[in-house]
A and B are shown apart, each in its own frame.
Chain A
């Protein structure tokens, strides 16, 4: 049974933005124009396709607008047929023309949709791919200042948002504008007084709508706030379930929940009710226009100022006319969200990447490396204004085991980060076999070290994939040898699918087994040097013995850097570096340091002092 370590905040990784409820205030971009421009430049190559799609949308809408005009003609013909003979041929002619028109319009609309979908999906795919590739080019320092949830939400939510609104908004803008202008032109051509009436009533209705919607914003904000509070409470109580139970805190928690829930219900009612008014108001605006057109049209027709059939055309125009106004409003909001999402995506894509590799690059081959490592006056700070490692120098001979100990925050892991060139130095140099690391490419440096970390990182995939991990040409013998050395050969054999067992949340490996797999991974890599960062602190002490044995086999003949929490594991190191506040305050082997009776000795003895 997997033990769940629920982390706060993981449930709300990505605040749901996007086209949710109507009227929910959208996120605004800091630089609207800039973001939209970047988006267009990014999609330069596919802009022509979008142009075609938009043109088709234009054509399709023009056909839609011509429709009512032709229906008007039919009506006129039929009306003439009431008193005189019916010209059925004319009716058929116009009808056939209309059918062709409708089919063409539908075809254009369909092709437009197809192109738009294809285009926007390609944009999403490319954006996601670029983000993923970007992750690999960013310096590790970037990730210190951001959360995983934040990046994930850019890969999924923001990209979805961009592609979704892009296709919608672009089409919407074009079709709404065409409909709006086209309708207006057709109306003006058909009859000016009727046009005035249609426009005035529509505008009146829409104004009413905007006034009501405007006042609903604050209720939406209220609803969002209480929803956030309720969700926060739920998250907290569920995650702290055992404490709530053990301390009988359920009643109080429930009272608090009911209170929040009631408040949420009240504010949700107001917000939802107001937003629910939107469709009836739209309907009312439509009806208002319809009534005005009918009545005034009838009056005009009565006085002989225009023919009856015009009313028929206007009955349709008035419906077409109110729609795009509403759509334009929506498109404007959507565009804001697109810009905001695009801004977040490009912010990430434009983030500063790792510095370029040196020009006079040297490549060290794994098999030629002896493993002498020298730190010479190394100066470093995660923030250049706050230097934590001031002046660090040490020499490690090939094959030695170097241990780094010290209290939390002393800078032990920092040494590893520098050794691996995960971060760049602020001063001094690190040499491998006499060559400064910044003369080597990063991937070259990475290839020279095997690494086993405290948090055993395994991915969802087979055991084989996890051990071989990207290395090519690993033979079955090598795999078996590594697994035997790591002490997991037998264990893997007992699994029904052996090496092909897929590791996911259903397979329950112990912390120790996971750690041994990562050790096997380091064995396969067979790098000349080794870094072990608190590799055993997440396992119990008996498993630790097994891992320790495996690690000793791994370290054999390799220069290795070991960071350890439990001092017992590093007593046999050739060189122990005791760090405090970013500096090495003592160094030497165990016996020497104990004899010194300094910080190390104090640290060591505090492990097993008896409670007096």
Chain B
């Protein structure tokens, strides 16, 4: 987990050093305070009547207390500076990393997991930095300095303090070894409980329809018992902590007095006895402070396991390299306006089977090429290859005569208008969603562009009914719009871009048949000069495409127009007849 700290900058390291030095100073000042008490004790025990001296010592003590507060604030400043700055940069780095990922890496992690890694996990690491650094420095410096102070005076006291510290460390370490793995297990078991509950909730109709409430409850109780038992184990182990700590703390003070009694009784001169006595009083305070700072140290062990897991999860993301590398070509071959697949195959890494194998076709300017086939036949994957969300494992994908791998990614995507299967809207306004992105020509979309796109996408009517028209609020994820509305806005976004290549990935299925038909009619008028790649489920949507490619298990099962395929392609015929009757098809 410590690798995550390599993102600390030089300045941060300086701040950390500074906070270490300041903590040292703080501890030094705090340990001085009992030292003055020792002076006072000496004054009192030797029977002097010097009030001035006492007040002087008292003043110094106050000064030390105040000084240590000031230094502590400086420590706080340094460590907070480091923690918040570091967190900001780490968050920025991971964000940059993830936005640079290709589909493959994103799918590998899953979107939800990446979000947690960029948000919650970062907060965990920050918490460790803010709290951990100060506590760690303090307890280490405190025990070292206190023991050093005692060391010169009496080995017996040093020894007992050493034993106490050793005992404390043993208790803490033992608990860490026993309890830490269980903490992790608790996380898994909580997830498990959550899963069972979520299952019950999502499937509540099925559960009731099958009278399976008891079955579900059984599963829940099993998960519940597992979780409770692990919690019990952890809680019972942790029950040792506080009593153990306090017995060590009290025992240490007592032993210092007890040992002191023997030391004093053995000492000869009254002077020596007085010195020993005042030392004893001081050391009992030291001992308290050492143990206290160790008690703080246990706090770290509560944050540490979570932060360690978080740091590891962050580093997993940072270590992943994006497989898609940027090219340099920004323009296609002069005069060539087509999308070509040359014997393209694709398979996911670590998967033996090919998702696409040996696909070849050419889509020329002004043409519509449609893809149809059952789920899992590779239609969406094929389209992702054009956008370079993935790279073909074999063969070449050419856009305007240039291999997509050689393109500058921005330049390639500037040519394309994508409408994905699942409409995605961003928080903002209708305008910000339709006039989304950049096209590389430094041109802002005008209101006319946006309105025209909305008109073609059949979104004009419902947008005009919204209170603020183009400035109407769109909630994050577009949750304030229906599925059909979202899909139409998503289509408008692609149209507004006026791209060379339109890609529709099953974009019409959320629309009812009527809207679908009108929309495609309007669309046809503007896509006349572009290349249209169209994935669809409904035969009705693709019947009039210039070329239909039928995919079956990643292979081309047929290629041609509707009529040709109906006559010559068995797979196509099956699909067609499953949707429409014979008369309707002809």
Contact = CB atoms under 8 A, between A and B. Distances in A.
B206 A451 contact: yes
Interface in A436-490: 442-443, 446-447, 449-451, 453, 455, 457, 459-461, 469-471
Contacts of B580: 568, 607-608
A281 B69 CA distance: 7
Contacts, number: 464
Interface string A74-87: 11011101110110
A328 to B, nearest CB: 18
B193 A156 contact: yes
Interface stretch (A98-106, A184-192, A356-364, A376-384): A98-106
Contact of A251 (B215, B247, B438): B438
Given A265-B88, A459-B203, A238 B118 contact: yes
Nearest to B265: A86
B254 interface: yes
Contacts of A607: 513, 538, 540, 579-580
Contacts of A269: 80-81, 84
Contacts of B365: none
B479 interface: yes
B181 interface: no
A420 interface: yes
Contacts of A227: 123
Interface in B81-127: 81, 83-85, 87-88, 91-92, 95-96, 98-99, 101, 103, 106-107, 110-112, 114-116, 118-120, 123, 126-127
A280 to B, nearest CB: 3
Contact of B543 (A511, A543, A610): A610
Interface string A55-83: 00000100010010001001101110111
Contact of A143 (B201, B242, B543): B201
A276 B130 CA distance: 8
Nearest to B208: A446
Nearest to B186: A160
Given A110-B240, A129-B220, A283-B30, A91 B413 contact: no
B260 interface: yes
A248 B477 contact: no
Contacts of B206: 451, 453, 457, 518
A298 interface: yes
B243 A113 contact: yes
B439 A447 contact: no
A281 to B, nearest CB: 7
B406 interface: no
Interface stretch (B7-15, B36-44, B336-344, B447-455): B36-44
The dominant DSSP class at the B interface is helix
A261 B45 contact: no
B436 A249 contact: yes
Given A121-B235, A248-B438, A232 B427 contact: yes
A543 B112 contact: no
Contact of B270 (A82, A235, A543): A82
Contact of A124 (B58, B112, B231): B231
B92 A239 contact: no
Interface size classification for chain B: 35 or more
A430 to B, nearest CB: 16
Interface string B537-558: 1111001100000000000000
Given A247-B413, A254-B96, A543-B375, A10 B112 contact: yes
Interface residues of A, number: 164
A234 B210 contact: no
Contacts of B188: none
A536 to B, nearest CB: 10
Contacts of A238: 98, 106, 111, 114-115, 118
Interface in B226-255: 227-228, 231-232, 235-236, 238-240, 242-244, 246-247, 250-251, 253-254
B91 to A, nearest CB: 6
A240 B66 CA distance: 54
A90 B138 CA distance: 38
Interface stretch (B166-174, B418-426, B463-471): B418-426
Interface in A233-287: 234-254, 257-258, 261-262, 264-265, 268-269, 272-273, 276-277, 279-281, 283-284, 287
Contacts of B99: 237, 241, 244, 250, 253-254
Contacts of A77: 261
A119 B205 CA distance: 35
Contacts of B493: 243, 247
Contacts of A598: none
A78 B91 contact: no
A143 B201 CA distance: 9
A114 B214 CA distance: 33
B80 A298 contact: no
Interface in B36-58: 36-37, 40-41, 43-45, 49, 51, 54-55, 57-58
Contacts of A571: 581
Contacts of A86: 261, 264-265
B477 A239 contact: yes
B202 interface: yes
Contacts of A71: 253-254, 257, 284
A9 B220 CA distance: 24
B375 A540 contact: yes
A473 B495 CA distance: 59
Contact of B194 (A156, A422, A606): A156
B543 A299 contact: no
B208 to A, nearest CB: 6
Given A1-B348, A88-B265, A117 B200 contact: no
B68 A242 contact: no
Contacts of A424: none
A500 to B, nearest CB: 17
B288 A105 contact: no
Interface string A147-162: 0100110011000000
B243 A106 contact: yes
Interface stretch (A35-43, A131-139, A343-351, A579-587): A131-139
B325 interface: no
Nearest to B516: A606
A230 interface: yes
B579 A21 contact: no
Interface string B167-204: 00000000000000000000000100111011111111
A211 interface: no
A541 B61 contact: no
A501 B250 CA distance: 59
B431 interface: no
Residue picked from A136, A511, A544, most chain B C-beta under 10 Å? A136
Contact of B45 (A79, A241, A284): A79
Contacts of B33: 287, 290-291
- List 7 tightest A-B contacts by C-beta distance, closest first: A247-B437, A117-B235, A280-B72, A8-B477, A295-B58, A113-B239, A86-B265
Given A262-B88, A469-B212, 10 more contacts: A1-B351, A8-B476, A8-B479, A74-B254, A92-B258, A125-B224, A136-B200, A252-B438, A287-B30, A290-B33
22 contacts: A2-B107, A3-B107, A9-B477, A11-B115, A71-B284, A82-B45, A98-B254, A110-B243, A117-B236, A124-B228, A129-B220, A151-B197, A227-B123, A232-B476, A244-B437, A245-B389, A280-B72, A294-B40, A469-B210, A510-B375, A548-B578, A608-B584
